[in-house]
Amino acid sequence: MTEKITVSLIKADVGSIAGHSRPHPKMMQVAGEHLVKAVLDGLLIDYYVTRCGDDMQLLMTHRNGENHKDVHKVAWNAFMAAAQEAKKMHLYAAGQDLLSDAFSGNVRGMGPGAAEMEFVERPTEPMLVFMADKCGPSAYSLPISRIFMDAFTTTGLVIDPRAHIGYDLEVVDVVDHKSVIMSSPAEMYDILALLGDTTRFAVKRVMHRDIGVAAVVSTEKLNMLAGKYVGKDDPVMLVRCQSGLPAVGEVLQPFAFPALVAGWMRGSHYGAWYPCAVADSDPTYHDGPPRVCSLGIQINNGRIQGAEAPGLKPGEHSPIDYFAGHEWDIVRNRAMEMSMYMRGHGPFMPGIVSPDELEYTTRPEVLKKLEPRMKPLE
Ligand code: F6R
Ligand code: MG
Ligand code: MG
């Protein structure tokens, strides 16, 4: 098969129950109705509607390439319909990530986040779908560095002849809207010199020089998009796995370290990333802690294949929920300990993000009010 398949994962927070928790099932249902219609119309091959915390996730497969107007439009309309349901139920923050009333050709820049990859399907195509809540796209920089550049994580970089050549990474400057493609291992230290600044740089895409795209991350930054802080992006990532690319286990391993990520509570705190099942992704402690979910699927002639019973309709899938198991309890316990420790700082850095990154701030008003009382130091 030489035909190219596109996997598009488009997500948005369009309302949730009792604060920023999870979308209502009715919202998921109406979004699904839009996507099933797009399958019947021949635009999509398959789809799966899921969520991570308060973010609704539309996983879609098709043959139309990345940034396709009609695919983005169907996602936009699905989110609009879900937001309408949220409004009817007076749910919280209904429609919050839909920054415009009218669709203008591409969801990028309009609020939703998108990770999309186009590739020629291999004879067997395993994929991990990562979805995170209460954090920004640079949260994935540390795990990506370990998965694709660190031989102590991915032994395949050393012992698999197909993996030994390394990877190219597209690094995005989310503030200046620029990107650069860099090669690992040759430029590994330069790559890390950028990625270490998680306030500004993030990985957009990872490419294997023979196999093609290996990973892609949504890097829209809502605060920059709207010209002001309107919410974190709660990013998603797609990773192709196995047969020369990192094994599923190598991709999951870095998440055993509950790294501190920015974007928790009011988009303004650091918390430890908590790997969990989709069903366990409600933000239950201090609007968090920041969550990350990982779903395993196969792409089969463009269709999504999980562990579903035979004969189910498009959209009805049972992916492997990789962080559901008790093996991850030890990580979750550590993440909770670290998040509670960070909370101990209250409104002090490093419990909160730097002043430039705060999603909420009163500082300009406070400084203005105090101006007449400010005296030069002796
Ligand atoms: C939303 C989030 C929450 C909110 C917080 C305040 O994804 O992370 O922590 O920022 O609950 O929300 P508002 O301003 O809506 O009361
Ligand atoms: Mg939210
Ligand atoms: Mg969210």
96 CA → ligand 2 middle, Å = 8
Q: Which atom of ligand 1 is nearest to the CA of 287?
A: 9
Element (H, E) at 56: strand 55-62
| Residue from 229, 266, 284, 352 whose mutation best tests the ligand 1 pocket (most atoms within 8 A of CB) | 266
d(CA 159, CA 75): 41
Look at residue 82 and tell me whether its pLDDT is greater than 60.
Answer: yes
Question: Is 374 among the domain residues?
Answer: no
Neighbours of ion ligand 3 (CB under 5 A): 13, 53-55, 133, 234
Element (H, E) at 183: strand 178-184
Is there an atom of ligand 1 within 6 Å of 267 CB? yes
In 3D, which of 188, 127, 135, 195 has the Cα closest to residue 157? 188
d(CA 227, CA 38): 33
Is there an atom of ligand 1 within 6 Å of 134 CB? yes
Look at residue 59 and tell me whether its pLDDT is greater than 70.
Answer: yes
Whether residue 53 contacts residue 21, with contact meaning beta carbons closer than 8 Å, is answered with yes
Question: Is 283 among the domain residues?
Answer: yes
Is there an atom of ligand 1 within 6 Å of 269 CB? no
Q: Which residues are catalytic?
A: 13, 229, 232
Question: Is 79 among the domain residues?
Answer: yes
Look at residue 226 and tell me whether its pLDDT is greater than 90.
Answer: no
What per-residue confidence (pLDDT) applies to 39? Answer: 98
267 CA → ligand 1 middle, Å = 7
**Number of DSSP helices (H) and strands (E) in the chain, helices first:** 10, 16
Q: Which atom of ligand 1 is nearest to the CA of 264?
A: 8
Q: pTM for this structure?
A: 0.97
Is there an atom of ligand 1 within 6 Å of 22 CB? no
Is there an atom of ligand 1 within 6 Å of 97 CB? no
pLDDT 10s digits, 190-222: 999 999 999 999 999 999 999 999 999 998 765
CA angle 156, 160, 165 (to 5 degrees): 90
Look at the chain and report how many structural domains it folds into: 1
Left (φ > 0), alpha (ψ -120 to 50) or beta: where does 227 sit?
A: left
Nearest CA to ligand 1 atom 13: 266
Structural domain of 16: 5-368
21 CA → ligand 2 middle, Å = 8
Beta-sheet strand order (sheet of 55-62): 46-52, 55-62, 4-12, 113-120
d(CA 16, CA 55): 9
Question: Is 155 among the domain residues?
Answer: yes
Question: Is 375 among the domain residues?
Answer: no
| For residues 129-155, average pLDDT | 97
In 3D, which of 79, 91, 99 has the Cα closest to residue 35? 79
Peptide bond into 310 cis (omega under 30): no
d(CA 149, CA 157): 8
Q: Which atom of ligand 1 is nearest to the CA of 13?
A: 7
Question: Is 278 among the domain residues?
Answer: yes
Ligand having the closest approach to the CA of 14:
2
Token pair for residue 242?
Answer: 């196995």
Question: Is 377 among the domain residues?
Answer: no
Look at residue 149 and tell me whether its pLDDT is greater than 90.
Answer: yes
Question: Is 373 among the domain residues?
Answer: no
pLDDT 10s digits, 307-346: 999 988 889 999 999 999 999 999 999 999 999 999 999 9
User: Beta strands of 269-346 (E only): which ranges?
Assistant: 269-272, 274-275, 291-300, 303-305, 320-321
What per-residue confidence (pLDDT) applies to 119? Answer: 98
What per-residue confidence (pLDDT) applies to 109? Answer: 80
